[in-house]
């Protein structure tokens, strides 16, 4: 089983996966990568995991307007540089009358990851490759 790794734009390791980036499931609303939040000690086949010690999750949600309504998101930030790498969703979207961040699942924004091979080769990310998302 081959494991691929991806980094934040600041080169901090964020994601480990047994799948190529193109095969990680994505969310229909914004094409963000659906990942689990893990300690990084093990990874299951067919899984993409964000390392929990590499990110911090905001305590206060941001309300984002979507085409079909609103959504509460908790920003997931790189602990090294503070860049918003993704988000978690509010439990209220999944469980009736519950509030707070849904644990265990995070959504990584496209364009915020660099392959380990590119980091090793010193390749710089071009602005055209990064999709700016403002919450």
Q: Which CATH number is 4-129 given? A: 2.170.150
Element (H, E) at 118: helix 116-120
Tokens 């490759």, located at residue: 129
Distance CA 79, CA 56 (A): 6
Contacts of residue 95, Cβ cutoff 8 Å, sequence gap at least 6: none
> In the predicted model, is pLDDT for residue 28 greater than 50?
yes
pTM for the complete prediction? 0.82
Angle at 35 between CA 42 and CA 13, to 5 degrees: 65
Q: What percent of the chain has pLDDT over 70?
A: 83
Is residue 70 within 8 Å of residue 63, measured between CB atoms? yes
Contacts of residue 57, Cβ cutoff 8 Å, sequence gap at least 6: 74, 75, 76, 77, 88, 101, 106
> In the predicted model, is pLDDT for residue 126 greater than 80?
no
């Amino acid at each position: 089983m081959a494991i691929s790794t991806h980094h934040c734009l600041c080169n901090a390791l964020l994601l480990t996966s047994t799948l190529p980036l193109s095969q990680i499931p994505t969310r229909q609303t914004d094409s963000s990568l659906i990942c689990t939040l893990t300690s990084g000690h093990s990874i299951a086949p067919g899984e993409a995991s964000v390392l929990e010690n590499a990110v911090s999750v905001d305590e206060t949600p941001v309300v984002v307007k979507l085409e079909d309504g609103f959504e509460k998101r908790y920003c997931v930030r790189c602990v090294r540089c503070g860049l918003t790498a993704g988000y978690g969703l509010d439990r209220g979207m999944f469980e009736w009358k519950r509030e707070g961040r849904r644990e265990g699942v995070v959504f990584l924004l496209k364009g915020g990851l660099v392959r380990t091979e590119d980091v090793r080769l010193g390749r710089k990310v071009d602005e055209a490759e990064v999709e700016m998302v403002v919450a």
